[in-house]
């Protein structure tokens, strides 16, 4: 099944003309990806990430990054790579304009960073409702190391870095995470 997953991810990369760069190139580029080249950094854990917008930096940059115990609101679209289908979202999509229950509220999670590992715990939203778990996909959390408040990233998340259902069925997902936003604590 892992070979099937790898083949699906490679086909998705080819179909969408994604150019991959190494983690060392990503670091050398100042932790940026070139969206004009459709660049994604390929991490050793199988996650691919494109930073569309790193987020905002205010006059107090120490307040802009997402830190331990912050509450984070997220707007996203989840796409099942194998099935080629949109499976979960909380943004307005064509054909769903008249169904505000899908996009009225963001998903919300608490970010936990204990210094050696990170985790996210959903407190509300469509991911929790759909998959019945409070665990934020670990692949999502990888992005938070490189972005700040109001960031926009796109990610290919393999099953081992995804939610419980992705893990169970060895299914990779593409995410267009349109906004990571710190909630007022």
Residue 185 has a pLDDT of 54
Read off the pLDDT of residues 75-101 as tens digits, 9 standing for 90 and up.
Answer: 999 999 999 999 999 998 888 888 888
The model's pTM: 0.94
Domains of the chain: 2-57+67-182 (3.10.50.40)
Least confident of 89-103, 113-127, 132-146, 167-181: 89-103
- 105, burial (CB in 10 Å: exposed 0-12, middle 13-18, buried 19+): middle
């Amino acid at each position: 099944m892992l070979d099937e997953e790898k083949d699906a991810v490679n086909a998705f990369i080819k179909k969408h003309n994604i150019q991959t760069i190494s983690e060392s190139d990503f670091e050398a580029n100042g932790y940026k990806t070139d969206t004009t080249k459709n660049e994604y950094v390929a991490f050793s854990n199988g996650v691919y990430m494109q930073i569309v917008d790193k987020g905002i930096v205010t006059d107090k940059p120490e307040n802009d990054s997402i830190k331990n115990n912050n509450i984070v609101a997220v707007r996203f679209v989840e796409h099942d790579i194998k099935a080629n289908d949109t499976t979960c979202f909380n943004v307005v999509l064509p054909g769903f304009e008249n169904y505000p229950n899908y996009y009225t509220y963001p998903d919300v999670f608490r970010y936990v960073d204990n210094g050696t590992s990170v985790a996210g715990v959903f407190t509300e939203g469509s991911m929790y409702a759909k998959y019945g778990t409070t665990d934020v996909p670990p692949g999502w959390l990888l992005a938070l190391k490189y972005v700040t408040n109001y960031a926009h990233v796109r990610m290919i998340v393999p099953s081992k870095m995804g939610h419980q259902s992705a893990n169970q069925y060895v299914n990779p997902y593409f995410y267009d995470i349109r906004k990571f936003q710190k909630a007022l604590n």
